[in-house]
Structure 1
Amino acid sequence: MSGTIEVPESSSVAKGKAPLIATPAQEKAGWKKGVAIIDFLLRLGAIGSALGAAASMGTSDEILPFFTQFFQFEASYDDLPTFQFFVIAMAIVGGYLVLSLPFSIVAIVRPNAVGLRLLLLILDVVALTLANSSASAAAAIVYLAHNGNSNTNWLAICQQFGDFCQTASGAVVASFIAVVLFMFLIALSALALRRH
């Protein structure tokens, strides 16, 4: 009489199927794949807000007639170099985000690709810097347009050019939404690289 008890193999192991228990490497890859999907969705949101901000500011224009049709006051984004910089910078940021989408898709397919994630992290920091600088400069001009500055005799123009100011203010808000989304993108990339 022997002291061992024979246990028959389960049917899934006997048929050559893998057991249903995930290994730590599979769990890690699954977590990184989830981060890559969130990264892709954040990029889509940032594309919408960056290109929306550029388009909104680029189409901001208002004309006020004064006495006759030949003598008019006009407010347009291209009257101010800061707003021109804003439109160009946000268009560049939006273009970068569109070009980064294929790399983000590759990061979903290959969640353990460290070099790709590091490249996206570095380029995201550069794009964040450009978006933040243009948004901050435009915000300062929009503030002056709304409130003026009595010390320098700069008048608030938003009482006359209300539609222009609303459009410019909306563009600045959209650009800061893109900045916040970039911050989340960078934090996610850094977290995924740290857990590698």
Structure 2
Amino acid sequence: MDKAEATTVDIGESSKERKGKAPLLSTPPPPPIAKAKVAVGGYKKGVAIFNLILRISAVATSIGAVATMANAEETLPFFTQFFQFQASYDDLPTFTFFVVAMSFVLGYLILSIPFGIVCIARPYAKAPKMLLIISDTVMLVLATSTTAASTAMVYLAHNGNPNANWQAICNQFTDFCQQSSGAVVSAFITVALLIFMVVLSAIALKRT
């Protein structure tokens, strides 16, 4: 009887000890800080992906602006013995500056694509974002200045200026005016995309 009672007591104590222990296979839930960090990381990666899409779109619009303006040329079918009526983008320094400046913007946007990919792979890295936001701002100023100047020239080509005795030329050089106007519109789209990219980069840096 003594042995049986001892055995019973041992079994009871062991069962109580097992009840007090936590299951070996259970894992503790992640702390709230880790969940917040994962959420912020996903947000930053989403912003970086959207920024890259805007950057590629800006490359396309910049190509359209440069190619259209560089091919803006028209020769009228009538000419005299000494004069041939022709209009080309390089006849106007403003349009020449437009082609050069937008070419710089285009080259920068192409070179900045790898940095945009780095921002996606490393959403918490500050250096690539800071470099992009500074460079994007510089290119935004360059694109805005040349687009504004070219817009003024396109307006004069369409409407002229009676006070300065400048005649509108778009009544004769219709193709040239359409091409130059299309290039300016593409440049304005590039400017808008650059603005969005700067804003997105600033938001991503703020939440770092």
Residue 85 (structure 2) aligns with: 73
Unmatched runs of 5 consecutive residues or more in structure 1 = none
| 55 and 116 in structure 1: CA distance in 2 versus 1, 3 angstrom threshold | same
Q: CA–CA distance in 1 between the matches of 2:57 and 2:186?
A: 11
Q: CA–CA distance in 2 between the matches of 1:138 and 1:129?
A: 14
Q: Residues 82-93 of structure 1 correspond to what in structure 2 (within 5 A)?
A: 82-93=94-105
Which residue of the other structure, out of 142, 151, 159, is the alignment partner of 1:139?
A: 151
Q: Is the 8 A contact 1:62 1:161 kept in 2?
A: yes
Residue 57 (structure 2) aligns with: 45
Residue 171 (structure 1) aligns with: 183
Supply the AA of the counterpart residue of 2:90.
D
Q: Residues 24-173 of structure 1 correspond to what in structure 2 (within 5 A)?
A: 24-67=36-79, 71-173=83-185
What do the CA deviations read for 1:50-99 (whole angstroms, capped 9, x no partner)? Answer: 12101100000000032458742000000000000000000100100000
Supply the AA of the counterpart residue of 1:63.
T
What is the TM-score with the length of structure 2 in the denominator?
A: 0.85
C-alpha RMSD over aligned residues: 2.3
Q: Is the 8 A contact 2:79 2:85 kept in 1?
A: no
Q: CA–CA distance in 1 between the matches of 2:40 and 2:191?
A: 29
Matched position secondary structure for 2:163: coil
Matched position secondary structure for 2:164: coil
**Following superposition, which runs of at least 4 residues in structure 1 exceed 4 angstroms of deviation?**
4-7, 67-70
Q: CA–CA distance in 1 between the matches of 2:53 and 2:82?
A: 49
Matched position secondary structure for 1:111: coil
Matched position secondary structure for 1:151: helix
| Alignment: residue pair count | 191
Q: Is the 8 A contact 1:121 1:189 kept in 2?
A: yes
Offset at residue 5 of structure 1 (A): 6.8
Matched position secondary structure for 1:65: strand
Q: CA–CA distance in 1 between the matches of 2:47 and 2:36?
A: 17
> % of aligned pairs identical?
55
Q: CA–CA distance in 2 between the matches of 1:108 and 1:69?
A: 63
Structure number having the greater helix percentage: 2
| Structure index of larger Rg | 2
